[in-house]
């Protein structure tokens, strides 16, 4: 499957911004079955300096600075991504989840070490008893990790209501758990919190989801959106993605941008500006099969 993705972000400032430093996580990662064929980042006004590097988690990052006074900033990322067929190889029989939690601290294989760091608290996700309690219904004793993981994904899908007005980017997972509402970012944070509270490594994944127009209607440009889901570590197999917002296993319809401990590690665009004061953001994503 090949996709062309156009991701537009527009900042509108009340007062002109004199200097803006920005970080963008808008380049799709390349890994296993998932290849970024081409990518370009168009920024207006034109940036004074652009640099790129891979971050600690291996995500491509772009830094740019705008030094002319501006009241509007447009960032347009254009990417082409190829996803090979049937990438998610879920094991037939996975280990009981407790074994994973117990073996990991002593696992010094490169994969094990890499996975282990996703067990701990991160700036936006603090594991705790309340998450463990919610998760425990799915993670019954000795249940295979994969089975429990899918069960938890399904429960979050059923128990929580998608409500774009209930939360914002700073809403904490505790609050989401209490009010049972939120958007994809909240559900992903919540599920990561649940898994980590049980001692299981879990990542936050930022990306895109292909959407389908209602039958008989044309696909609307820009109607797609940034999306977020979860990846959990299964020793011997690797990382397994689940999407609690849609209760499915991401495959051909999910394009991955980056992953990290939580949203804060991989938020698509952020920055530090001088001036500006209040601002509005508009985001439009257009994801089209090629």
Partner 1 sequence: MLLPDRSTYNEFAPDGVTPRPYWSAVIESLQDIGPDELARRWERAERRIRENGVTYNVYTDPQGVNRPLAIDPIPLLIPPDEWRVIEAGITQRAHLLNLLLGDIYGPRQLVQNGDIPAALLFANPAFLRPLTGVAPPQRGHLHLIGVDLARSPDGRWWVLADRTQSPSGTGYALQNRTIVADVLPEAFGDANVRRLASFFRTWREVLLGLADCDHPRAVLLTPGPYNETYFEHSYLARYLGLTLAEGSDLTVRDRRVYLKTVEGLQPVHVILRRVDDSFCDPMELRHDSFLGVAGLVDAIHAGNVVVANALGSGVIETAAIMPFLPGLAEKLLGEALKLPSVATWWCGQDYALDWVLNHLDRVVVKPAFPLRGMEPVFGAGLSQAEKQRIGEQIRSRPYEYVAQEQVDLSTVPVWDQGRLYPRSLVLRTYVLNTGSGWIAMPGGLVRVSEADGQVVSMQRGGRSKDAWVLWDGPVDTFSMLRPRNQPVQLERAPADLPSRAADNLFWLGRYAERSESIARLLRCLMTRVRRANHTELACLFRLHGCLGSPHSTLPKDRPASARDLEDELVSLMSGVERPDSLASNLAEVHRVGGSVRERLSSDMSRLVVALAESARTENYMLFVEYSAVLNGCLELLSAFSGMERENITRGSGWLFLSLGRRLERAMYSVRQLRELTSGLDEQSWPLLEYVLEAADSSMTYRSRYFTTLQPIAVLDVLMADESNPRSLNFQMAHLADLHKRLPRHPPADQQAIQGALALLRGLDLEKLEFPLPGSDRPAGNSDGQSQIARSLGSVQKLLPSWADNISLTYFEHAHTYPISIGG
Q: Does 174 bind partner 1 (CB under 8 A)?
A: no
Q: Does 267 bind partner 1 (CB under 8 A)?
A: yes
Q: Which tokens is 288 given?
A: 């089209």
In the set 51, 158, 214, 216, which binds partner 1 (CB under 8 A)? Answer: 51
* Exposure letters 168-182 (e unless 16+ CB within 10 A, then b): eeebbbbebbeeebb
Q: Does 129 bind partner 1 (CB under 8 A)?
A: yes
Q: Which 3 state secondary structure label does DSSP give 253?
A: coil
Residue 132: name the closest of 174, 168, 89 by CA.
174
Span from 18-26, 30-38, 91-99, 217-225 in contact with partner 1 (CB under 8 A): 18-26
* Residues in CB range of 94: below 8 A, 6 or more apart: 144, 145, 146, 147, 234, 237
Site string for partner 1, 92-111 (x = CB under 8 A): -------------x--x-x-
Kindly state the number of chain residues that form the binding site for partner 1, as judged by CB under 8 A.
44
In the set 145, 248, 273, 285, which binds partner 1 (CB under 8 A)? Answer: 273
Residue 167: name the closest of 186, 194, 153, 189 by CA.
186
Q: Does 57 bind partner 1 (CB under 8 A)?
A: yes
Q: Which residue has the tokens 């010094």?
A: 108
Query: Which residues sit opposite 27 in a β-bridge?
Result: none
Nearer to partner 1, 65 or 247 (CB): 65
Smallest separation, CB 223 to partner 1 (Å): 22
Nearer to partner 1, 45 or 154 (CB): 45
In the set 42, 49, 159, 290, which binds partner 1 (CB under 8 A)? Answer: 49
Site string for partner 1, 211-230 (x = CB under 8 A): --------------------
Q: Does 121 bind partner 1 (CB under 8 A)?
A: yes
Q: Does 63 bind partner 1 (CB under 8 A)?
A: yes
| Binding to partner 1, residues 247-266 (CB under 8 A) | 263-265
Alpha helices in the chain (DSSP H): 97-103, 110-116, 129-136, 145-159, 173-179, 184-197, 263-266
Instruction: For 54-85, give the DSSP string.
Output: E-TTS-EEEEEEE-S-EEEEEEEEEEEEEE-S
Nearer to partner 1, 167 or 246 (CB): 167
Span from 47-55, 155-163, 180-188, 242-250 in contact with partner 1 (CB under 8 A): 47-55
Question: What's the first-to-final CA gap in the chain, in angstroms?
Answer: 8
Smallest separation, CB 285 to partner 1 (Å): 16
| 122 DSSP 8-state letter | B
Contact (CB, 8 A) for 132 and 194:
yes
Nearer to partner 1, 64 or 160 (CB): 64
In the set 11, 97, 139, 160, which binds partner 1 (CB under 8 A)? Answer: 11
From the CB of residue 159, how many other CB atoms can be counted at a distance below 10 Å? 12
Residues that bind partner 1 (CB under 8 A): 11, 18-19, 21-23, 48-49, 51, 53, 55-57, 63, 65, 67, 105, 108, 110, 113, 116-117, 119-121, 123, 129, 169, 263-265, 267-277, 279, 281
């Amino acid at each position: 499957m090949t996709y062309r993705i156009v991701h537009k972000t527009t900042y509108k400032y009340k007062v002109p911004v004199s200097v803006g430093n920005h970080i963008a996580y808008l380049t799709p990662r390349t890994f296993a079955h998932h290849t970024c064929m081409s990518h370009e980042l168009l920024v207006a006004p034109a940036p004074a300096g652009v640099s790129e590097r891979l971050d600690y988690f291996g995500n491509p990052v772009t830094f740019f600075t705008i030094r002319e006074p501006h009241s509007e900033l447009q960032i347009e990322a254009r990417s082409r991504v190829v996803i090979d067929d049937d990438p998610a190889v879920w094991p037939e029989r996975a280990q009981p989840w407790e074994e994973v939690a117990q073996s990991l601290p002593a696992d010094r294989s490169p994969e094990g070490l890499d996975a282990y760091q996703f067990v701990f608290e991160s700036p936006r996700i603090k594991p705790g008893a309340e998450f463990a309690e919610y998760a425990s219904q799915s993670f019954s004793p000795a249940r295979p990790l994969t089975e429990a993981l899918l069960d938890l994904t399904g429960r979050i899908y059923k128990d929580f209501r998608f409500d774009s007005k209930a939360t914002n980017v700073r809403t904490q997972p505790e609050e989401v758990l209490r009010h049972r509402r939120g958007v994809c970012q909240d559900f992903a944070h919540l599920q990561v919190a649940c898994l980590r509270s049980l001692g299981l490594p879990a990542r936050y994944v930022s990306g895109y989801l292909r959407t389908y127009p209602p039958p008989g209607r044309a696909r609307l440009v820009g109607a797609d959106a940034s999306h977020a889901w979860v990846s959990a570590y299964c020793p011997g197999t690797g990382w397994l993605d689940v999407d609690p917002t849609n209760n499915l296993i991401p495959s051909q319809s999910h394009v991955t941008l980056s992953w990290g401990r939580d949203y804060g590690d991989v938020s698509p665009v952020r920055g530090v500006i001088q001036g500006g004061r209040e601002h509005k953001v508009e985001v439009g994503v257009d994801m089209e099969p090629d």
